[in-house]
Amino acid sequence: MKLSTAIAPSNLAFLKYWGKKDSKLRIPYNNSISVNLGSATTITSVNFSPDLERDIVIVNDSEQDTTSGFTVRVSKHLDRLRAVANEKSKAIVKTKNTFPESVGIASSASGFAALTVAAADALELNLSQKELSIFSRLGSGSACRSIPDGFVEWVAGDSNDTSFAQQIAPPDHWDISIVTVIVSKDAKKLTSTSGHELAVASPFFKSRMETIEIHLNRVREAILNKDFEQFGRQVEMEAISLHSIAMTSPFTANGWNSGAYYWTPDTMELIRAVQEWRSSGLEVYFTLDAGPTVHLICRREDEGKIEKAVRDIEKNIPLRKWDIAINRPAVGARVQQEIQH
C-alpha cells in the first residue's frame, strides 16, 4: 500500500439526474449528460495504515467528526474498495475543493471521483475506467461522470454493472465555456440525495420521464454537431424541468413544505438577465443544479463579455459580491502520485 493522491473535476449536467430507481445502488431513472468543469476540482489523498483504529477524514485542513455524515459516507465508500482488495487497514483521507460546497456545484461528484481513484490506486486495484465509474457512482451518483474526460454520458443501466459513464466527446471537441456565478455560499436546505428521493412524488415526474429520451437525444446530438442554439435551448429547458419537479415535491423539514426552492432572488435576477442578453444579441443560456449557483453557457469568445455583464448586474445592489469561475471542458479524474498535501 502507498499514499496516493488524485485530482477530479466536478461536472455540470446538461441533461440531469434527478430521481433514482434504486437508491442503495444509486441507479438513476434516466441517462444524463455532462461536461467536466476545469476550474472546480477536488484533490484527495488516501493513505492506508495498519496502525489506524478508524478512518480519519480531513477536509480543507480540518479533521471531521467521526460521526459526521461525510466521514461515515467516506468510510463506507472505502469499505467497498477495501472489500475488493481484501484489506482491513483504515486510512487517512485528506481532501480539498477549489470551490464552495453545497451551493449548486456538485462537490460530491469531484469528491467521490477523486476518493475512488486515489483509494483504488493506493490499494493497487488496477481498476478499468468503467469500474472506477461504477465505484464512484456508489459514493455519489454524479461522481461516475467525473471519471471519463470531457463530455460524458452516464448510461442509467438497470444493475450495478450496467450503470456507468462513458465519454461522448473529448474536452477539446467544442470550445464552449461555462461562467459559473456563485450568488450565495449558504448551504442548501435540502440535499440532492433527499431531492432524488422526493422527485417521484411530484405530479410532473411521470411526464418528465415520458419525454426524457427525446431530450437526451437532442442534447447528445447538439453536442456532437456543435449546434449551440439547439444545445442551449434544450439545456435551459432541462434545468427548468428539474426545478419544476423540485418545486412540486412536497417534503417535511421543520414543518410541511409544498416543494424545494433552490433559488435565491439573485438566481432569478440572473435568469432574467440571460433573457435580456439574448434578446440584445449575446447568445448565452443558463443551467442550475440543486442550488442557487447559475451556470452561464456561452461560446468561448464571449466568456469575457459575459463576465463583465454579470459584474454589471452585481453592482445593482451595493456591496453585493459574487464569486465567478470560468470553466472550460476538462479531463476526468487522474492519479497525481507526486502531489502531497
Binding flag, residue 17, ligand DP6 (CB under 6 A): yes
Report the alpha-carbon distance of residue 12 to residue 38 in Å, rounded.
11
User: Mask: binding to ligand DP6, 123-152, rule CB under 6 A, as x and -?
Assistant: -----------------xxx----------
- Hey, which residues between 182 and 241 contact ligand DP6 (CB under 6 A)? 192-193, 196
Q: Please report how close the Cβ of residue 35 comes to ligand DP6 at its closest, in angstroms.
A: 11
Please report how close the Cβ of residue 106 comes to ligand DP6 at its closest, in angstroms.
5
Q: How far is CA 151 from CA 77, 181, 261, in A?
A: 26, 21, 28
> According to CB under 6 A, which residues from 288 to 307 bind ligand DP6?
289-290
Q: Is 106 in the site for ligand DP6 (CB under 6 A)?
A: yes
- The minimum distance between CB 100 and ligand DP6, in angstroms, equals 15
Is position 153 an interface residue for ligand DP6 (rule: CB under 6 A)? no
Q: Strand pairing partners for 9?
A: 41
- The count of residues in the chain is 341
What is the closest distance, in whole angstroms, from the C-beta atom of residue 219 to ligand DP6 in the complex? Answer: 12
Are 161 and 282 spatial neighbours (Cβ–Cβ below 8 Å)? no
Torsion of CA 195, 24, 138, 11, to 10 degrees: -20
**Are the C-beta atoms of residues 137 and 189 closer than 8 Å to each other?**
no
Among residue numbers 312 through 341, which ones bind ligand DP6 (CB under 6 A)? none
Q: What is the CA radius of gyration of the chain?
A: 20
Number of residues that bind ligand DP6 (CB under 6 A): 17
State phi, psi for 334 to the nearest 5 degrees. Answer: -140, 150
Residues in contact with ligand DP6 by the rule CB under 6 A? 13, 16-18, 26, 32, 106, 108-109, 140-142, 192-193, 196, 289-290
